Amino acid sequence: MKKVMVSWSSGKDSCLSLIRLLRDPTYEVVGIFTSFVGEQVPYQVTPISVVEMQAQLMGLPLIKIELPEVFPSNEIYQACIVNGLKSSELEFDCVAFGDMFHNGIADYRRRYIEPAGWKCIFPLLGDPSNQLAKEILDVGIKTILVTTQNEMLPAEFCGQWYTTSLLSQLPDNVDWCGENGEFHTLVTQAPCFTGKLQLSQLDIESLSGYCHLRYRAVIS
């Protein structure tokens, strides 16, 4: 079995990647890693404390890699990720990412991960978004839209649960998995969790062209 470290954003794509790897007898998941700025994961704006709860529910070590800013240079970003993984003291052969589109991202990740001695794995790469959306729902991943991009998706979608009904309401130009940046999600329940996150919604915050769901989370 190849030991693999999984990139964890707190959302549905990384969760589905993790589930596929956990069900694949050729891999052993040894941990997850998350990059963050300040006290939250960029894009999802998930508090790092909530990511820690998710890791607790999965029973997996969490490697937290702090970035100096949301959009550091490629050189700084790559160095942070590689150095963070090397300092984790976990042994692994592969690093898995939840990217879906053949848009150059796989080659970009290989250019800094593989020289460090690890193989890149992309469990979802190339699969159609509509099929992945169906799989996300079918395997029992419960997830909520915590960030929406105002120019791509109306603000009222922020804070809604990712369901078949929601998918049917998405505008035609919006990818079902939000892979063009239309929305980002937070997983609250999944087959790889031993419990679930219970959210108490506080507010919808509008900031710099985005809407963010602000909430409190507890394990239940």
Beta bridge partners of 145: 185
Based on the domain organization, do 117 and 142 belong to the same domain? no
pLDDT at site 60:
98
Q: Per-residue confidence at 213, pLDDT binned at 50, 70, 90? A: very high
Based on the domain organization, do 114 and 163 belong to the same domain? no
Residue 84 counted as domain residue: yes
% residues pLDDT > 90 (the chain): 97
Residue 66 counted as domain residue: yes
Residue 130 counted as domain residue: no
Based on the domain organization, do 47 and 148 belong to the same domain? no
Domain of 55?
2-121
pLDDT at site 201:
86
pLDDT score of 102 more than 90: no
pLDDT at site 112:
98
Residue 132 counted as domain residue: no
State how many domains the chain has: 2
Residue 207 counted as domain residue: yes
Where does a domain end: 93, 121, 149? Answer: 121
Based on the domain organization, do 113 and 208 belong to the same domain? no
Based on the domain organization, do 107 and 144 belong to the same domain? no
Mean pLDDT estimate for the chain: 97
pLDDT at site 41:
96
Q: Tell me: the pLDDT tens digits for 13-60? A: 999 999 999 999 999 999 999 999 999 999 899 999 999 999 999 999
Extract the tokens encoding 140: 């029992």
Position 33, amino acid = F
Q: What CATH number is given to the structural domain containing 28? A: 3.40.50.620
Whats the size of the chain, residue-wise?
220
3-class SS letters over the chain? CEEEEEECCCCHHHHHHHHHHHCCCCEEEEEEEEEEECCEECCCCEEHHHHHHHHHHHCCCEEEEECCCCCCCHHHHHHHHHHHHHCCCCCCCEEECCCCCCCCHHHHHHHHHHHHCCEEECCCCCCCHHHHHHHHHHCCCEEEEEEEECCCCCHHHCCCECCHHHHHHCCCCCCCCCCCCCEEEEEEECCCCCCCEEEEEEEEEEECCEEEEEEEEEEC
Q: Tell me: the pLDDT tens digits for 108-144? A: 999 999 999 999 999 999 999 999 999 999 999 999 9
User: Model-level pTM?
Assistant: 0.96
CB atoms within 10 A of CB 152: 17
Q: 9 or 102: which carries more pLDDT confidence?
A: 9
Where does a domain end: 73, 90, 121? Answer: 121
pLDDT score of 80 more than 90: yes
Residue 55 counted as domain residue: yes
Where does a domain end: 71, 92, 121? Answer: 121
Extract the tokens encoding 66: 């702090």
Based on the domain organization, do 151 and 214 belong to the same domain? yes
Based on the domain organization, do 153 and 112 belong to the same domain? no
Q: Tell me: the pLDDT tens digits for 199-211? A: 998 899 998 899 9
Based on the domain organization, do 7 and 107 belong to the same domain? yes
Cβ proximity of 32 and 58 under 8 Å: yes
Based on the domain organization, do 173 and 104 belong to the same domain? no
**Averaged over 66-74, what is the pLDDT?**
95
Residue 50 counted as domain residue: yes
Q: Under 8 Å CB-to-CB from 134, ≥6 apart: which residues? A: none
pLDDT score of 152 more than 90: yes
Residue 133 counted as domain residue: no
Based on the domain organization, do 117 and 145 belong to the same domain? no
